[in-house]
Amino acid sequence: MKIRVYYEDTDCGGVVYYANYLKFCERARSELFFQKGLSPHNGNEFFVVKSVQADYIKSAVFGDIVEVKTKLIEKKLASIVMYQEVFRNDELLFKGTFKLAFLKDFKPSKIPLEFFEIFK
């Protein structure tokens, strides 16, 4: 998924604020669902981020076009682990590993099979 860096994404120096890389990754994960006509939040069923390991390598700046690449690296009954990278052209700027838990009525629940098709 490609994202343009807007002024609102940057700090006073025009550099992408560190927390916004997490937002870029969240948008890309949501977009996986939207592209299949689904929603990552379905009433009382949804994913939540349980943990994040983030590595900030280089900075994106105002006006850049960045691309978020997403890969499923582990799936369990009620959780998944995704690896995401943010690039500017071929230059790696950020990489992160996200563990997501699937909840139903705010309790861990089995992930519906159709959701695994989204991550292929």
State the catalytic residues.
Answer: 11
Helix (H) or strand (E) run with residue 32 in it: helix 18-34
Cα angle at 26 between 23 and 27, to 5 degrees? 90
**DSSP secondary-structure letter at 58?**
S
Helix (H) or strand (E) run with residue 115 in it: helix 113-118
Which amino acid is located at 93 in the chain?
L
